């Protein structure tokens, strides 16, 4: 058997490489050179980072994303603290940021107030004397509910906004927590019961155990009727347009006219005639539950929703109990987040674009945006080449794919038009919780105000300081906030090999979302519309099914496998991002435009894959692995490297990976998508 060897020198010297102008961007301290890269590339590329960055007590997972997220949070904190020390004109964004931050930091005041800030909302629940009052209560509420209502572009007509309904009513979020019978999940349910009981008692209720049993029973009923996360990935299967009259016929137990009267109070001109019901079967179970459960038991569920939603914004005692379940038992965290981090999270959540406007002035130079635009355009060119070179796609479908790619809207750094917060009132004389209630109502009204208006294609769905990126199928746009455009994702001092391996793959990833198993169902205008030939779609589906099966083969914990169907979209995007970005780097090398060196310890091709792997470096708790396997559409970091790279031919060439490697996948078994 041929021995796998660690490659300590560059594989090749290319004439296309220039004299070194920029750094390689690779921190060798991140590597574990005791590991043979062809046997475990993730451990080789990230082992040093993992050793040097032990998991902090307040995190269930801490990785490169979290590291940069913490840096962004510290940057925002510097800005906010400066604002918090000053006096500002009443009604200004600066006043609102300063006051909500100071309220968030004032735990002494919250401990003195106790549960009094919650009293009025709980009394509203207690005052219900008839089920006839429930439609008005649910329509007007921001604190409790049995389903979600939100506004987005109509996937059948992307120029107009539509009111959508989505399943809900169960606090654990994932239906599997209510139905799975493995020992760990049964333990979670048992601890959840104890948690509910204790929270009721802390809020002054006497029989917490009985209340907990009622809550779990009703939530389980609603969760059993819900779709799972794989079923939720089907856009057409979760689109059921109904008139209000049709909705009344489908779910007669709730007076929908009264519900919408309360929901659109003061916004009557935006009230729609139709609503898109996402999961009719679960909503019908909500209706049956309202008819069959006693009013007192329904009120107990509402009490729980109020308490559960407010737990992080009242006393330390309530916060700590909430953390003991959701943080420690569910996710394995050892300590709660520091107060200042929680406060900055509130600022970002309530006035994100307000502080983002200041953030980009300080932390996002214009030259960064220019270089990012160059990267994006190079990636677009590369994806266009990849589409042209596909041997499984017909020319007819390629034309449509190219049209969609050319129609991408590119958003980098920050919006050109900032969000208007003039209707949001932050009053420091009122309680922290009261201000957050008002902020929640502001967001709901802001969304409802979009009904009846054309879709705002300038709108951003992330704050500038966010460390993330997204593709939106209904606007056919890719967006890269300023927060992610810093090392180790994007480094102005590093060469192309590094940046194409890191942020380049992120760009390619978001582009490929336009062509993953969900995005591929939308046309260039953002409408759910089949642009494929029947034969091409069958070939595409076969390749994506193979990728889903491949990722489902990974055992992420003893006896627990990844859900490749759930993570399929993200895995396709990783696969496409790697292919597209590596091809873009090849273009630069071939055109003699490379701005780094080809000699040295690692070749440009090797550095590309090292930079990619370092993006996913992380340490994670066993509990969090189980949480994310149920709830996260992304594969775990290890498999975004050791799962993705064996499907990429260029990785084999760069690192001389042979069939003797435990990571080897035979060429005929590798997927060939984008």
SS3 labels along 4-42: CCCCCCCCCCCCCCCCCCCECCCCHHHCCCCCCCCCCHH
Band (pLDDT 50/70/90 cuts) for residue 598 is confident
Same domain, 392 and 304: no
pLDDT given at position 111: 98
Same domain, 143 and 257: yes
Residue 239 pLDDT > 90: yes
pLDDT given at position 282: 98
Residue 88 placed within a domain:
no
Residue 536 pLDDT > 90: yes
Query: How do residues 605-660 score in pLDDT, each as one tens digit?
Result: 999 999 999 999 999 999 999 999 999 999 999 999 999 999 999 999 999 999 99
Same domain, 129 and 68: no
pLDDT given at position 595: 86
Mean pLDDT, to the nearest integer, of 488-504? 95
Residue 337 placed within a domain:
no
Range of the domain at 129: 116-313
pLDDT given at position 26: 95
Burial 205-242 (b: 16+ CB within 10 A, else e): beebeebbbbbbebbbbbbebbbbbeebbebeebbbeb
Same domain, 400 and 281: no
Q: Of 271, 294, 313, which residue sits at a domain end?
A: 313
pLDDT given at position 4: 34
Residue 16 placed within a domain:
no
pLDDT given at position 626: 98
Residue 124 placed within a domain:
yes
pLDDT given at position 22: 86
pLDDT given at position 600: 77
Share of the chain above pLDDT 90, in %: 95
Three-state secondary structure call for residue 169: coil
**Which residues make Cβ contacts (< 8 Å) with residue 24, sequence separation at least 6?**
494, 495, 497, 498, 596, 597, 600, 602, 607
Q: List residues bridging with 528 in a β-sheet.
A: 522
Residue 554 placed within a domain:
yes
Residue 332 placed within a domain:
no
Band (pLDDT 50/70/90 cuts) for residue 601 is confident
pLDDT given at position 599: 67
Residue 479 pLDDT > 80: yes
What CATH number does the domain containing 278 carry?
1.10.1380.10
SS3 labels along 106-144: CHHHHHHHCCHHHHHHHHHHHCCCCHHHHHHHHHHCCCC
Same domain, 227 and 365: no
Band (pLDDT 50/70/90 cuts) for residue 18 is low
Residue 341 placed within a domain:
no
Band (pLDDT 50/70/90 cuts) for residue 13 is very low
pLDDT given at position 5: 33
Residue 271 pLDDT > 80: yes
Mean pLDDT, to the nearest integer, of 334-349? 98
Same domain, 235 and 365: no
Same domain, 127 and 275: yes
Band (pLDDT 50/70/90 cuts) for residue 20 is low
Query: How do residues 246-263 score in pLDDT, each as one tens digit?
Result: 999 999 999 999 999 999
Same domain, 396 and 500: yes
Residue 3 pLDDT > 70: no
Same domain, 176 and 69: no
Instruction: Report the chain's mean pLDDT, rounded to a whole number.
Output: 95
Same domain, 146 and 269: yes
Query: How do residues 45-85 score in pLDDT, each as one tens digit?
Result: 999 999 999 999 999 999 999 999 999 999 999 999 999 99
Give the C-alpha separation, 661 to 654, whole Å: 14
Q: Of 261, 296, 313, which residue sits at a domain end?
A: 313
CB 334 within 8 A of CB 100: no
Same domain, 235 and 187: yes
Query: How do residues 349-404 score in pLDDT, each as one tens digit?
Result: 999 999 999 999 999 999 999 999 999 999 999 999 999 999 999 999 999 999 99
Same domain, 164 and 266: yes
| C-alpha distances in Å from residue 605, one per residue of 63, 173, 278, 492, 656 | 24, 42, 45, 19, 12
Share of the chain above pLDDT 70, in %: 97
Q: Of 260, 292, 313, which residue sits at a domain end?
A: 313
Residue 2 pLDDT > 80: no
Residue 15 pLDDT > 70: no
Give the C-alpha separation, 473 to 158, whole Å: 9
What CATH number does the domain containing 536 carry?
3.40.390.10
Q: How many domains does the chain have?
A: 2
């Amino acid at each position: 058997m041929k021995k796998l060897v660690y490659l300590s020198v560059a594989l090749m010297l290319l004439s296309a490489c220039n004299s070194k102008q920029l750094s390689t961007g690779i921190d060798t301290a991140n590597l574990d050179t005791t590991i043979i890269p062809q046997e475990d590339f993730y451990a080789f590329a990230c082992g040093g980072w993992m050793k040097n960055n032990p998991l902090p007590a307040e995190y269930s997972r801490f990785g490169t994303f979290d590291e940069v997220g913490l840096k962004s949070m510290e940057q925002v904190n510097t800005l906010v603290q400066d604002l918090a020390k000053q006096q500002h004109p009443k009604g200004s964004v600066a006043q609102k940021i300063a006051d909500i931050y100071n309220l968030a930091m004032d735990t002494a005041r919250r401990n003195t107030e106790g549960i009094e800030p919650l009293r009025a909302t709980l009394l509203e629940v207690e005052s219900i004397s008839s089920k006839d009052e429930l439609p008005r209560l649910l329509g007007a509420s921001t604190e409790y509910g049995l389903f979600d209502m939100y506004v987005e572009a109509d996937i059948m007509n992307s120029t107009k906004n539509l009111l959508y309904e989505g399943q809900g009513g169960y606090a654990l979020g994932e239906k599997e927590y209510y139905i799975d019978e493995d020992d760990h999940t049964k333990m979670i349910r048992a601890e959840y019961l104890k948690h509910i009981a204790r929270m009721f008692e802390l809020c002054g209720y006497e029989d917490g155990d009985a209340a907990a049993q009622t809550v779990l029973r009703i939530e389980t009923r609603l969760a059993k009727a819900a779709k799972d996360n794989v079923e939720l990935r089907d856009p057409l299967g979760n689109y059921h347009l109904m008139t209000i009259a049709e909705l009344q016929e489908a779910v007669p137990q709730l007076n929908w006219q009264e519900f919408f009267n309360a929901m659109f109070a003061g916004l009557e001109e935006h009230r729609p005639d139709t609503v898109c019901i996402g999961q009719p079967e679960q909503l019908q179970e909500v209706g049956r539950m309202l008819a069959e459960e006693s009013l007192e038991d329904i009120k107990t569920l509402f009490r729980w929703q109020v308490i559960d939603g407010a737990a992080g914004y009242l006393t330390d005692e309530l916060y700590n109990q909430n953390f003991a379940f959701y943080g420690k038992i569910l996710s394995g965290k050892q300590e709660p987040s520091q107060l200042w981090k929680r406060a900055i999270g509130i600022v970002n959540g309530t006035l994100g674009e307000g502080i983002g406007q200041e953030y980009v002035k300080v932390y996002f130079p214009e030259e960064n945006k220019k270089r990012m635009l160059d990267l994006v355009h190079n990636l677009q060119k590369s994806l266009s080449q990849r589409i042209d070179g596909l041997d499984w796609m017909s020319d007819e479908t390629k034309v449509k794919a190219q049209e969609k790619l050319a129609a991408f809207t590119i958003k980098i750094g920050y919006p050109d038009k900032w969000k208007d917060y003039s209707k949001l009132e932050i009053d420091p004389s009122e309680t922290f919780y009261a201000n957050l209630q008002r902020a929640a109502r502001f967001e709901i009204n802001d969304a409802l105000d979009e009904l009846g208006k054309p879709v705002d294609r300038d709108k951003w769905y992330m704050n500038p300081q966010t460390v993330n990126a997204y593709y939106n199928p209904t606007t056919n746009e890719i967006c890269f906030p300023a927060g992610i455009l810093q090392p180790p994702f994007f480094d102005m001092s590093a060469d192309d090999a590094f940046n194409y391996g890191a942020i380049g793959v992120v760009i390619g990833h978001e582009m490929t979302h336009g062509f993953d198993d969900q995005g591929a169902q939308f046309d260039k205008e953002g409408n759910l519309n089949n642009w494929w030939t029947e034969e091409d779609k069958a070939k595409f589906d076969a390749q994506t099914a193979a990728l889903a099966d491949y990722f489902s083969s990974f055992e992420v914990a003893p006896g627990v496998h990844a859900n490749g169907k759930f993570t399929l979209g993200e895995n396709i995007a990783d696969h496409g991002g790697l292919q597209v970005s590596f091809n873009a780097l090849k273009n630069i090398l071939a055109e003699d435009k490379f701005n780094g060196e080809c000699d040295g310890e690692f070749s440009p091709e090797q550095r590309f894959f090292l930079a990619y792997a370092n993006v996913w470096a992380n340490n994670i708790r066993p509990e969090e692995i189980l949480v994310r396997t149920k709830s996260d559409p992304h594969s775990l970091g290890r498999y975004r490297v050791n799962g993705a790279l064996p499907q990429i031919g260029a990785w084999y060439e760069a690192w001389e990976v042979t069939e003797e490697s435990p990571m080897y996948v035979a060429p005929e078994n590798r997927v060939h998508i984008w």
